[in-house]
Amino acid sequence: MSTERPRVVVKIGSSSVTGEDGAPDAALLGRLAREIEAQITAGVDIVVVSSGAIAAGWAAIGAGAERPTDLAVLQAVSAIGQHRLMSVWAESFDVVGRTVGQVLLAPLDFADRQQYLHARQTLDQLLQLGVVPVVNENDAVADDEIRFGDNDRLAALVAHLVGADRLVMLTDAPGLLSADPRIDAEASLIEEVTEIDRSLEAVAGGPGEVGSGGMASKLAAARIASWSGVEAVIADARAPGTLAEIAKGSRGVGTTFRPREARLSARKLWIAFALAPKGTLVIDAGAVDAILNAGRSLLVQGVSRAEGAFISGDAVEITDSSGALIAKGLARLGASVLFAPGDVDSGPSGNVLIHRDDLVVLVEPSETSR
């Protein structure tokens, strides 16, 4: 999608949006509102993706108790916190004379073509009206089986949705570091990444403490952005002037992930990153080669083992014999009939389990030899 003005999606995580008590940090949001307004005045359209609803809700009613883990309770808590979070965002932008608009999204908005177009139209209209869209997942009604899981992934999908040039993920770290600074005093900032591989994923580690993401989810979001043709940056939310420095291309400001030249279509991006996998297909070496190097569909004969109770039309992950993720796609057959004798059509295309149009390769061919 082409736009006259450059577009940037700015995602702020729970650990940055909220203070020590879990309530929205009005001082930080006020500063970010001023910095975002400066970018808008300079000619940039900005969409904000803001976490923090559950943290804000629990701060209001939890009385310092440990945050719950039950889904139903978290949904109710997010309903309490979402308007509190938006209230602080609205007040912060009121100070600089800018209006905000709340947009709550769910995976269905990316899975259904009409919903996808409606969501894009809404965000486009808000930007044309000079309004800053503030996006969050609709946690109050999101099903545990049908949700984004973290706002990093949501932000990357929104960046593709609005045709953004850049995704900036603001967090409580200066960027992606070469090691965990809590255990390695020599850890240093990785300033630029051209390819996200397994060694880099190992550096990212696990989830954070306050939000549902952490550096691993930000790296996954950077991969989504990169495969969408969008530059991604992970940077420190509490460092003043970060957005301006990123816009100028200043070195040493966060970690920049360069976009791939080959971009995924909206549909393949949806298959790869918006659909929850319902099972796994373990394939043999011949099938791996056919998918990675020959651009072929996945045939039934190439499957060594199927895991999970998936049905026809479900998304499944595809791994090699060592368990390394190779691809993801939409299965034409369910697990219950995959190996049942006589159930697979022997016609010209009957042995195709995942057609190439429904399959997304998730690694570079070189990764399989590492």
The 10s digit of each residue's pLDDT in 267-285 is 888 888 878 889 999 999 9
Q: What is the pLDDT of residues 221-258, one digit of tens each?
A: 998 999 889 999 999 999 999 999 999 988 889 999 99
Mean pLDDT of 338-343: 64
Apex CA 235: angle with CA 201 and CA 178, to 5°?
40
Tokens of 19: 């203070």
Q: What is the pLDDT of residues 106-126, one digit of tens each?
A: 877 877 778 989 999 999 999
Q: What gap in Å lies between CA 73 and CA 161, rounded to an integer?
A: 31
pLDDT above 70 (res 367)? no
Domain layout of the chain by residue ranges: 7-267, 277-369
Name the CATH superfamily housing domain 7-267: Acetylglutamate kinase-like (3.40.1160.10)
Q: What gap in Å lies between CA 322 and CA 27, rounded to an integer?
A: 49
pLDDT above 70 (res 145)? no
pLDDT above 50 (res 209)? no
Mean pLDDT of 315-327: 94
Q: Which of 153, 92, 160, 170 is nearest to 123 (CA)?
A: 160
Q: Give 11's strand partners.
A: 49, 169
Q: Per-residue confidence at 71, pLDDT binned at 50, 70, 90? A: confident
Q: Which of 297, 317, 227, 219 is nearest to 269 (CA)?
A: 227
Q: What gap in Å lies between CA 139 and CA 126, rounded to an integer?
A: 22
The distance between the two most distant Cα atoms of the chain, rounded to a whole number of Å, is 69
Q: What gap in Å lies between CA 318 and CA 271, rounded to an integer?
A: 13
Which pLDDT score, from 0 to 100, does residue 298 have?
A: 96
Helix axes 71-95, 26-41, angle to 10 degrees: 60
Q: Which of 133, 141, 134, 77 is nearest to 107 (CA)?
A: 141
Q: Which of 115, 150, 110, 124 is nearest to 11 (CA)?
A: 150
- Most confidently predicted of 5-9, 105-109, 139-143, 212-216: 5-9
Q: What is the pLDDT of residues 4-13, one digit of tens each?
A: 799 999 999 8
Q: What gap in Å lies between CA 327 and CA 279, rounded to an integer?
A: 12
Which pLDDT score, from 0 to 100, does residue 275 have?
A: 81
List the single range of 221-230, 294-303, 309-318, 337-346 with lowest mean pLDDT. 337-346
What is the rounded average pLDDT for all residues in the chain?
87
Q: Which of 126, 104, 100 is nearest to 30 (CA)?
A: 100
Contact 338, 353 (CB under 8 A): yes
* Third-level CATH fold of 277-369: 2.30.130
List the single range of 16-20, 43-47, 116-120, 193-197 with lowest mean pLDDT. 193-197
Which of the two residues, 145 and 139, has the higher pLDDT score? 139
Contact 25, 182 (CB under 8 A): no
Query: What pTM value is reported for the model?
Result: 0.83
